[in-house]
Amino acid sequence: MGALLSKIPGTWIVILTLSALLWLVNNRMESNQQEFNDKLQTLNSSVKDLTEANEANVRTIGVLKDVRELDYKVLSSLSSDLSDIRNNQRASANKIAQLEKDNEQVKKFQSSPVPVELACLLEPALCPSSNRGKN
């Protein structure tokens, strides 16, 4: 029995050492768990922020698509209007050319000299010196 008693204090030392070691390991694990939870909370917050930013970007893209569609419609309308203007300009130029060729009144008007007063308005250098600067 003496041998058994001599082993008990060593057993207590081992048990106390193991208890202290387990306590330290447990504290370290709790610390790691808290650190992990903090990082997880930070990541969850970042994911939430990124999700909100992504949703805002999706809304912005939708608005930009709508604006692009409106721009396309306006550009198409302007292109069509420009085509109409060109066609009308060609028709007017052809009509003027025809009048210049066939109409006697137009021929007479074009062959008449430009009145001095009108020439003076169009080109001040052609004005007589007495008329310069008068408006």
Q: What is the DSSP string of the chain?
A: -HHHHHHHHHHHHHHHHHHHHHHHHHHHHHHHHHHHHHHHHHHHHHHHHHHHHHHHHHHHHHHHHHHHHHHHHHHHHHHHHHHHHHHHHHHHHHHHHHHHHH-HHHHHHHHSPPPHHHHHHH-GGGS-TTTTT--
Same domain assignment for residues 73 and 95: yes
Query: Is the Cα dihedral 107, 111, 112, 118 positive or negative?
Result: positive
Same domain assignment for residues 86 and 119: no
Same domain assignment for residues 85 and 69: yes
Same domain assignment for residues 88 and 61: yes
- Residue 34's identity, in one-letter code, is Q
Query: Is the Cα dihedral 58, 59, 64, 67 positive or negative?
Result: positive
Q: Using one digit for the tens of pLDDT, what is the confidence trace for 58-76? A: 999 999 999 999 999 999 9
| Angstrom distance (rounded) from CA 97 to CA 101 | 6
Structural domain of 58: 7-102
Lookup result for tokens 């250098």: 125
This prediction has a pTM of 0.47
In a domain, 2, yes or no: no
pLDDT interval class at 12 (50, 70, 90): confident
Query: Looking at residue 98, what is its pLDDT?
Result: 92
- Total tally of structural domains belonging to the chain: 2
pLDDT interval class at 109 (50, 70, 90): confident
Query: Looking at residue 8, what is its pLDDT?
Result: 66
Same domain assignment for residues 107 and 93: no
Query: Looking at residue 130, what is its pLDDT?
Result: 57
| Angstrom distance (rounded) from CA 52 to CA 69 | 26
What average pLDDT score do residues 28-38 get?
Answer: 94
